[in-house]
Structure 1
Amino acid sequence: MATLELADGLAEAVLESGGQLQRRESAREVVPSGFSPLDALLPAGGVRRGSLLEWLTDDGDATGGGAVTLAFAVACRLAAPAGRHEGRCRHGAIVVVDRAGWFHPPAVLPWLEDRQLIVARPSRDEDELWAIDQSLRCRGVAAVLAWPRATAWGVAAAPSLGSRSPRHWTTAMRRWQLAARASGAVGLLVRSQAARGEPSWAEARISVASLPGGTLLERPLRLMATGGAWPGAAPDAERWSEVSIDLARGVAGSQRIAVGLRGVSPTRSDEGEALRAFVKGVAACRAS
């Protein structure tokens, strides 16, 4: 009898602790990404500070299918002062951990002040893990952008990259999540679609693919919510949207976009509010 009472007490304590944790996480500041169709796919309706986001791209696409570009634009919003919605970032640092060595800073410097950008180029697995971890622990960092295990999807880099087991990287991601939670920084991790089958500590996973019809100054992308660790991050119906990036300024482009659910006719950008309300309702039902 005493054993049953102890077990019941422990179960109640665990549930209470879990509820407190979820309430604390829900109370964190949520920052609009600058792309309302993307916000509609995120559990919090924006980017929650102190969290991880995964951006999944097709195997063999060394440029990330636009995922790196979009993630960096979101990082600029996270680094911007409260109330600033476009133009140059002037608050907080953005750290790019570029193990593969192909990140080109001049392409994004017009989006922010150069003193805000820190680029690290580790040469070993351990150094890459350490650089991401330490950057996420720093309270002066707004966002950390990285593409761990990049050679797994075709980027030429050191041969040992990606040689460790998925479990090793899952453990590393858990450490990154705890580091981000402690500092308030956001980890933006670009990964291969092959990572979809691995456990995730990210608040959301967003699949990113390029769309035809882009120009030298604008790039259209198709986004799809494919899961995550947070309640409501993966509704039964697959949600998708289209965004356009102004490559000169790193903000939402002028092209009209569409949002919708797989198997449902798309809505245009001016109908996005109704879709976001529907998605939040689905997420609330799943969380309860």
Structure 2
Amino acid sequence: MALDDAVPDDAAKAMRQLRADLAHRLATATKATVTKATVTKSVHQAVTSGCLSLDDLLPDKGFTRGTFVEWLGEGAGCGAGFLALVAAREACREDGFAVVIDTPRRFYPPAAAACGLELSRLLLVRPQCEKDVYWAVDQALRCPRGSAVLAWPQHIPNRIFRRWQLSAESGDCLGLLVRPATVQPEPSWAETRLRVIPRASRNDWQLTLEILRCRGGLHKNQLEIVIDEQTGKIQSLDSRDMASSMAIAASVAEKS
């Protein structure tokens, strides 16, 4: 059944308008980002997560294009959305653009720019209903110049998720989904699934990442990270502490 089958006339009209608008914007973005006829994305190339310590835990040393990554967390400020945005930024850093399907109506482009995402590589879509979300994500994943699709879906029917996964694979696009932790028991077509848990900290933004699912074996499935809220830099607590210890040791050596 088509996504817009058996919907009221007003809803069908709204979906047709969305389709026309998104098709135009994708076509425009495609023309704007193609600088050479020979420029293409490397098939299934790994994309850094933006955190080298997390990359080191993943089999491909990053997220694989043509697959989905799910970030599960509780509440808007849990850090899942920020980490997904960083991954979208990295996916389109050199080529293509990121499509943001903003169903929560909370996406703020200036904040994304402050995070390092070039707004010229951003296409923001705000669907009006769930069916529009399903269609918009599917179309964005198939776009030849789309490098990443970021969305905040709640419930995803299994057949829709499977369709998205096939679209991501055919478009060689990285799908990034931010979802509530309550969906963890549900089946998923994501290749990588991570749980984001805030850590209590007085001075900085600390999170625990649990790798719930990942293709291939893992020697470690949990990581504590810290985010510099001024620069957006992400690093593991271990590496941050090691760098701090080395700096102190160097300072002591200079004074001795």
- Work out whether the TM-score is over 0.5: yes
- In the alignment, the residues of structure 1 paired with residue 180 and residue 166 of structure 2 have an alpha-carbon distance, to the nearest angstrom, of 23
- In the alignment, the residues of structure 1 paired with residue 227 and residue 80 of structure 2 have an alpha-carbon distance, to the nearest angstrom, of 11
Tell me the alpha carbon deviations over residues 205-257 of structure 1, each in whole angstroms, 9 at most, x when there is no partner. 00012223265xx63221001125x343xx6x87100222334444325xx51
Structure 1 residue 207 corresponds to structure 2 residue 195: yes
Structure 1 residue 62 corresponds to structure 2 residue 76: yes
Structure 2 gaps of 5+ residues are 1-42, 244-256
State the Cα RMSD in Å. Answer: 2.5
- In the alignment, the residues of structure 1 paired with residue 168 and residue 103 of structure 2 have an alpha-carbon distance, to the nearest angstrom, of 20
Structure 1 residue 100 corresponds to structure 2 residue 82: no
Identity of aligned residues (%): 37
The 5 Å alignment of 1:178-193 reads 178-193=166-181
Tell me the alpha carbon deviations over residues 127-173 of structure 1, each in whole angstroms, 9 at most, x when there is no partner. 00111111111121111111102xxxxxxxxxxxx5xxxxx522211
Contact 1:73 1:251 in 2 (8 A): no
Secondary structure at the aligned position of 1:54 is classed as strand
The 5 Å alignment of 1:156-175 reads 162=155, 169-175=157-163
Contact 2:49 2:55 in 1 (8 A): yes
Structure 1 residue 127 corresponds to structure 2 residue 109: no
Match of residue 35, structure 1, among 51, 62, 70:
51
The 1:32–1:123 alpha-carbon spacing in structure 2 relative to 1, beyond 3 Å, is same
Structure 1 gaps of 5+ residues are 1-26, 82-90, 150-161, 163-167, 260-267, 271-288
Secondary structure at the aligned position of 1:129 is classed as helix
- In the alignment, the residues of structure 2 paired with residue 114 and residue 247 of structure 1 have an alpha-carbon distance, to the nearest angstrom, of 20
Contact 2:102 2:126 in 1 (8 A): yes
Secondary structure at the aligned position of 2:184 is classed as helix
- In the alignment, the residues of structure 1 paired with residue 130 and residue 151 of structure 2 have an alpha-carbon distance, to the nearest angstrom, of 13
Using structure 2 for the length normalisation, give the TM-score.
Answer: 0.70
Structure 1 residue 139 corresponds to structure 2 residue 139: no
* Partner AA of 1:142 in structure 2: S
Structure 1 residue 74 corresponds to structure 2 residue 87: yes
- In the alignment, the residues of structure 2 paired with residue 190 and residue 121 of structure 1 have an alpha-carbon distance, to the nearest angstrom, of 15
* Partner AA of 1:121 in structure 2: R
Structure 1 residue ranges, 4+ long, deviating more than 3 angstroms after superposition: 246-251
- In the alignment, the residues of structure 2 paired with residue 214 and residue 70 of structure 1 have an alpha-carbon distance, to the nearest angstrom, of 20
* Partner AA of 1:28 in structure 2: H
Name the counterpart of 1:157.
Answer: none
- In the alignment, the residues of structure 2 paired with residue 137 and residue 269 of structure 1 have an alpha-carbon distance, to the nearest angstrom, of 43
Q: How many residues align?
A: 200
* Partner AA of 1:175 in structure 2: R
- In the alignment, the residues of structure 2 paired with residue 247 and residue 203 of structure 1 have an alpha-carbon distance, to the nearest angstrom, of 29
Secondary structure at the aligned position of 1:122 is classed as coil
The 1:226–1:249 alpha-carbon spacing in structure 2 relative to 1, beyond 3 Å, is same
The 1:43–1:170 alpha-carbon spacing in structure 2 relative to 1, beyond 3 Å, is farther
* Partner AA of 1:194 in structure 2: T
